[in-house]
Structure 1
Amino acid sequence: MHAKTDSDGTSVEASWPPRSPPRRPIYFVQSPSNHDVEKMSYGSSPTGSPAHHYYNSSPTHHSRESSTSRFSASLKKPGSLNAWKHVQLGDPCHRRRRLVDEDEDEDEDDDEMDGLYGGSGRNVRLYLCIALFFVMLFTVFCLVLWGASKAYKPKIFVKSILFQNFNVQAGNDQSGVPTDMLSLNSTVKILYRNPATFFAVHVTSTPLELHYFQLKLASGQMQKFSQSRKTQRNVKTVVKGYQVPLYGGVSVLSSAKEHLDRVSLPLNLTFVMRSRAYILGRLVESKFYRRVRCSVTLHGKALGKALNLTKSCIYE
């Protein structure tokens, strides 16, 4: 130390050079290597706070913040060099960009799911429309066939009736009441023709009945049959009555029991012919009904002779 004497005799110590501020100890933080980062990134996620992107003059704080930021960024996107650079440079928009990218990815996933379900819905509607179109087309086709079949009505002609025997005698009904009893036997001949060109028919009939006004004297059931397209046949049916009580209802017979060869008895022959055509299996069915009523006169002296009925019948 050197002392300097002033003019007044006082000594002034020589001034020390200015002191530098005390140096703080330097801390060195080693960043994890790539191998360690990969291990930690595939492990459990750390719950560290997000990195702060502001500048600090302290070297220690700056070193810690940068290493922490690099560590968290490497955990969030391992292997992403761009993300690593953004974190190192302290890009404040990095987190915002990541959020926008995640939102866009979620929107794309939603669009893909909507497109998948929307496409299946459109396919279902398309299939339903195609099925409905074919159903309507098939229905129209069936209606056309049904309408065309109505132009081919079967032809029915009652040709003749033949009375084999005829008898009236006294007797008792089932309750024992005495009355005249009638018995007769006859055969009806019918010509049936199917003019259709594309279907056969199945034919049945109600019982053929002979009436004297409201009194039924005889009946017979025609056998059912099938007739092919554009063919015809003669159908014979036996119509008979046995021991039919008259109760005095037939006055002509009451006065002529002893002379039946002189009897002339007016009768009505009635029946309904039913024809059914299966045009397209059981799907298209066409029905035809013909009601027939013929005026017949029984002559006692004409037994065994066929009576022509071609001009004596009404077809409804």
Structure 2
Amino acid sequence: MPLAIHAKSDSEVTSIDAASSPPRSPRRPLYYVQSPSNHDAEKMSYGSSPAGSPSHPYYHCSPIHHSRESSTSRFSASLKNANPRHLYGGAWRKLHRGQGTDDDDGDADEEDQEGGRGSSSPAWRGARLYACIVLLFFLLFTAFSLILWGASKSYRPEILVKNVVFESFNVQAGIDPSGVTTDMLTLNSTVRIVYRNPATFFGVHVTSSPLDLHYFQLHVASGQMKKFYQSRKSQRPVVTVVTGYQVPLYGGISALSMAREHREKVAVPLNLTFVMRSRAYILGKLVKSTFYRRIRCSVTLRGNQLGKRQKLTDFCTYH
């Protein structure tokens, strides 16, 4: 066998060498792989190759391998550079919130705060707007009420006691409730008053305390005025009956001791006192104004002027 190999000609050796060496072939086309998975990349790295490609030690330097490595490296780089929050969304945030990292917690708190402000901001603004409107309304209403109340004070009711008429009086002996014998006085009189409401925008409700006649500290007669309503810019006469029945004197009025025999000579000074109250409801019961007038008049009971009017316009004081 060795002799046969040495006996071969140069042409045969050349042909054998040519057969043993691989023939040169034209440049193979490039293969491009787009985003392979890890399993596919392992297959491609460890022996999977296109059909007809030789398996020699320098296969990793082929253009196909370079293209695969470059695509794999690009995919790995894209995974490294990509923001995990965009890739995984809510799962990433839940994972890192569970781990308790400071940066992610701060970002999550900021997002929650922003979301909370965004959701509660319209309601809070609406509540503040309503509160401001209510406060402004109360301020305006208070100012308007104060203006009306101040304006009403300049419209004080006008009260004038015109006259008094003593229709009758009588003094006779009697017994008081305790059984003491004394003189008893019976008196009948009428008081006329003119009441005027000068207000231009409100009416008044008028009441009065009892009209009392006194002889110093001795109370001899009394009468109650009826309450009434007086509209704006109007007036009316008010007539009140003041009477006293079987009033014990206990010798307090010495001037009346001669009343049985000489009634026309009787002259007893008396005081007429009362208080009138006028209440104006300017804005319902929310805004009201009250006026008080304390009146005191000097009256003389004369036996010779029974049934006649005694003018009191110049004998009364108003407080």
**TM-score surpassing 0.5?**
yes
Identity %: 58
Give ranges in structure 2 of 5+ residues lacking alignment.
Answer: 4-36, 49-70, 94-103
Tell me whether 1:265 sits opposite 2:251 in the alignment: no
Q: CA deviation at 1:254?
A: 2.8
User: Aligned partner of 1:169: which letter?
Assistant: Q
Q: Does residue 1:302 correspond to 2:288, yes or no?
A: no
Is residue 292 of structure 2 the alignment partner of residue 289 of structure 1? Answer: yes
Equivalent residues, number: 246
Distance 1:281 1:61, change over 3 A: farther
| Partner Cα separation in structure 1 for residue 258 and residue 2 of structure 2 | 189
The one-letter code of the counterpart of 2:279 is R
Which residue number in structure 2 is paired with residue 241 of structure 1?
A: 244
CA distance in 2, matches of 1:254, 1:60: 151
- Matches for 1:92-241 after TM superposition, within 5 Å: 93-94=79-80, 97-99=83-85, 102=89, 110-241=113-244
RMSD: 3.0
The alignment's TM-score, normalised by the length of structure 2, stands at 0.70
Aligned-partner Cα distance in 2 for 1:2–1:184: 181
8 Å CA contact 2:210, 2:225 repeated in 1: yes
- One-letter amino acid of the counterpart of residue 270, structure 2: L
Alpha-carbon distance in structure 1 between the residues aligned to 2:72 and 2:248: 122
Offset of 1:281 from its aligned partner?
1.3
* Letter aligned with residue 293 of structure 1: R
Which structure carries more helix by proportion?
A: 2
Contact 1:160 1:189 (C-alpha < 8 Å) held by counterparts: yes
Contact 2:189/2:242, CA 8 A, preserved across alignment: yes
Provide closer, same or farther for how the CA distance between residues 231 and 243 of structure 1 changes in structure 2, counting only shifts above 3 A: same
CA 1:133–1:61: 2 relative to 1, 3 Å: farther
The residue type equivalent to 2:133 in the other structure is: I
**CA-to-aligned-CA distance 1:57-97 (integer Å, 9 cap, x gap):** 994699xxxxxxxxxxxxxxxxxxxxxx9998223645860
Question: What does residue 75 of structure 2 align with?
Answer: 89
Distance 1:267 1:139 in 2: 48
Please tell me the residue identity of whatever aligns with 2:299: V
Partner in structure 1 of residue 26 of structure 2: none
Please name the residue that 2:67 is paired with.
none
Aligned 8 A contact 2:258 2:266 in 1? no
